[in-house]
Chains A and B, each alone.
Chain A
């Protein structure tokens, strides 16, 4: 328990110390909010879909979580390259605990980042329907963050160096984000797209944020929760397995 805590704490400290990383990673969500939120607003309204900014805000929160989470998981590669991984790998602590501590730390960081973006959307005039649901929102954010941190860790466990990073961004993270319904409504899509959106776990995360924040859901919270929990457990299992096989 203590070891999980110290591994968690390490991730948090590293995050809080890298101000430039915190600020830097807010650039992208801001850009999406401004460019798309305002740029597409009138078109969206004209199509009878309502306020685009309100629609987009939960999607952009989801975006900042998935990016930060996967990145936190992938940070493992740095630990390996800078040698610190060896120090944890020879410690008398089960690799499962190491993986869990790291992943919880990364997920906490991603959730904080998501909350910062949430507060930024408030600044731009976004209002949640029901403030009392904020704790529920945070739980769902943590769940999404856990899922993708574990996924990032699983991927980092099999990569030797940062060479593959671009590949992961372009062929995993970007598709997960763009096919999640973060940017567009997922009703009445061409059937191929409907299938892709349906198998993207982030879709369920964003759907949950949207139903908590604005009361509009496509899948419903129950389904969201079930899918997220199952996929998160799967990613944690996979991550632990691959992590336990690392040789340094």
Chain B
């Protein structure tokens, strides 16, 4: 079965269905009884403040974490029961680093392509295309550990695009990227979405980005979905003129308490300082 056949747009309907999903870490409830669905071929944004539960939800959708309770289906399969079928249907760009530093950029791509069964000729062609696309082709034989943060991120995005899945999960894909690369990446994804009907599920903290590319948005806060709809609907509902204002209206203006001891959070804190450029 080639990746091409699998991706042909199918009849309408939902591709992601989540109902009553809960994830607890010990006493703490990270995801608190959420339900939503994503249509086939849709570009869907999952927004929320730090620690809202976005990444945790994505991990459950992508078989990396088992839900405490609730139901998930991804393209008709349950990630807990039928994890291999689910793994065949999605691609993901993680929020946290996931490259092998001891391999070269090209080897990281090749490794991914082989794992995902992308046939050799197509694989080699796409690797070259994508690495040129993120302007890393000249550095293909450098070890990843010699790369800057932004270069690593670009490589992860190129790698995520190497196989064309039914659903693409992108967890803060544009974090730390310059505006040029961000634009570039979204154009590519929109094109992929149009031509192959790939469903895109992404998170971001850049509201104008969500506003521009997402057809539908869900906002999660403290593990609960507080609103969903198109950007226009969210703005209308809150009576605000921008998505950013609507977001602040829905989630409040207080900065989120970081849960003590979570590496994930230390990381996101660090990124906030670096990325925000505030002193």
In angstroms, Cα B59 to Cα A86, docked, is 10
Contact check, B115 vs A3: say whether CB atoms are below 8 A apart.
Answer: yes
The B92-116 residues at the A interface (CB cut-off 8 A) are 92, 94, 96-103, 107, 110-112, 114-116
What is the total of A-B residue contacts with beta carbons within 8 Å? 70
Contact check, B102 vs A90: say whether CB atoms are below 8 A apart.
Answer: no
Among the listed A87, A93, A247, which residue makes an inter-chain contact with B66, where contact means beta carbons less than 8 Å apart?
A: A247
In angstroms, Cα B61 to Cα A78, docked, is 24
Among the listed B66, B88, B98, B107, which residue makes an inter-chain contact with A84, where contact means beta carbons less than 8 Å apart?
A: B98
Among the listed B64, B66, B114, which residue makes an inter-chain contact with A89, where contact means beta carbons less than 8 Å apart?
A: B64
Contact check, B102 vs A14: say whether CB atoms are below 8 A apart.
Answer: yes
In angstroms, Cα B94 to Cα A82, docked, is 12
Residue-wise, chain B 49-73 has the 8 Å CB interface mask toward A (1 for contact) of 0000000000100111110000000
Contact check, B116 vs A92: say whether CB atoms are below 8 A apart.
Answer: yes
Given A90-B62, A247-B64, verify A3-B94 contact (CB < 8 Å).
no
Q: Counting CB contacts under 8 A, is A94 at the interface?
A: yes
Q: Counting CB contacts under 8 A, is B87 at the interface?
A: yes
Q: Counting CB contacts under 8 A, is B117 at the interface?
A: yes
Among the listed B63, B88, B98, B103, which residue makes an inter-chain contact with A83, where contact means beta carbons less than 8 Å apart?
A: B98
Residue from the set B90, B96, B99, B102 with the largest chain A CB neighbour count within 10 Å: B102
Q: Counting CB contacts under 8 A, is A19 at the interface?
A: no
In angstroms, Cα B143 to Cα A86, docked, is 20
In angstroms, Cα B63 to Cα A83, docked, is 15
Q: Report chain B residues within 8 Å CB of A92.
A: 84, 87-88, 115-117
Interface residues on B, range: 20 to 34
The B165-199 residues at the A interface (CB cut-off 8 A) are none
In angstroms, Cα B62 to Cα A87, docked, is 11
Contact check, B114 vs A6: say whether CB atoms are below 8 A apart.
Answer: yes
Contact check, B102 vs A17: say whether CB atoms are below 8 A apart.
Answer: yes
Residue from the set A2, A90, A94, A248 with the largest chain B CB neighbour count within 10 Å: A90
Contact check, B96 vs A83: say whether CB atoms are below 8 A apart.
Answer: yes
Residue-wise, chain B 237-271 has the 8 Å CB interface mask toward A (1 for contact) of 00000000000000000000000000000000000
In angstroms, Cα B92 to Cα A13, docked, is 25
Residue-wise, chain A 125-153 has the 8 Å CB interface mask toward B (1 for contact) of 00000000000000000000000000000
Contact check, A10 vs B116: say whether CB atoms are below 8 A apart.
Answer: no
Q: Report chain B residues within 8 Å CB of A91.
A: 87, 112, 115-116
Chain B: CB-nearest residue to A97? B115
In angstroms, Cα B117 to Cα A39, docked, is 56
Q: Report chain A residues within 8 Å CB of B102.
A: 13-14, 17-18
In angstroms, Cα B107 to Cα A17, docked, is 13
Among the listed A2, A82, A86, which residue makes an inter-chain contact with B101, where contact means beta carbons less than 8 Å apart?
A: A82
In angstroms, Cα B88 to Cα A217, docked, is 51
Contact check, A10 vs B115: say whether CB atoms are below 8 A apart.
Answer: no
Given A90-B64, A90-B87, verify A6-B115 contact (CB < 8 Å).
yes
Q: Counting CB contacts under 8 A, is A88 at the interface?
A: yes
A18 CB, nearest partner CB in chain B, Å: 7
Q: Report chain B residues within 8 Å CB of A6.
A: 110-111, 114-115
In angstroms, Cα B97 to Cα A87, docked, is 10
Q: Report chain A residues within 8 Å CB of B64.
A: 86, 89-90, 247-248
Given A13-B103, A90-B87, A94-B84, verify A247-B65 contact (CB < 8 Å).
yes
Q: Report chain A residues within 8 Å CB of B96.
A: 83, 86
In angstroms, Cα B116 to Cα A91, docked, is 6
Chain A: CB-nearest residue to B59? A248
Chain B: CB-nearest residue to A15? B102
Contact check, B99 vs A84: say whether CB atoms are below 8 A apart.
Answer: yes
A15 CB, nearest partner CB in chain B, Å: 10
Residue from the set B92, B100, B116, B117 with the largest chain A CB neighbour count within 10 Å: B100
Contact check, B103 vs A93: say whether CB atoms are below 8 A apart.
Answer: no
Contact check, B88 vs A86: say whether CB atoms are below 8 A apart.
Answer: no
Q: A10-B107, A90-B87, A90-B90 are in contact. List 10 more A-B contacts (CB 8 A).
A: A2-B114, A2-B117, A13-B102, A14-B102, A18-B102, A87-B98, A87-B99, A93-B87, A93-B115, A248-B64
The contact sample of 19 A-B pairs, CB cut-off 8 A, is A2-B114, A6-B111, A6-B114, A6-B115, A82-B100, A84-B98, A84-B99, A86-B96, A86-B98, A87-B99, A87-B112, A89-B63, A90-B62, A91-B87, A91-B116, A92-B116, A94-B84, A247-B66, A248-B59
The 4 lowest CB-CB distance pairs between A and B, nearest first, are A91-B115, A92-B88, A83-B98, A6-B114
Q: Which residues of A contact B (CB under 8 A)?
A: 2-3, 6, 10, 13-14, 17-18, 82-84, 86-94, 247-248
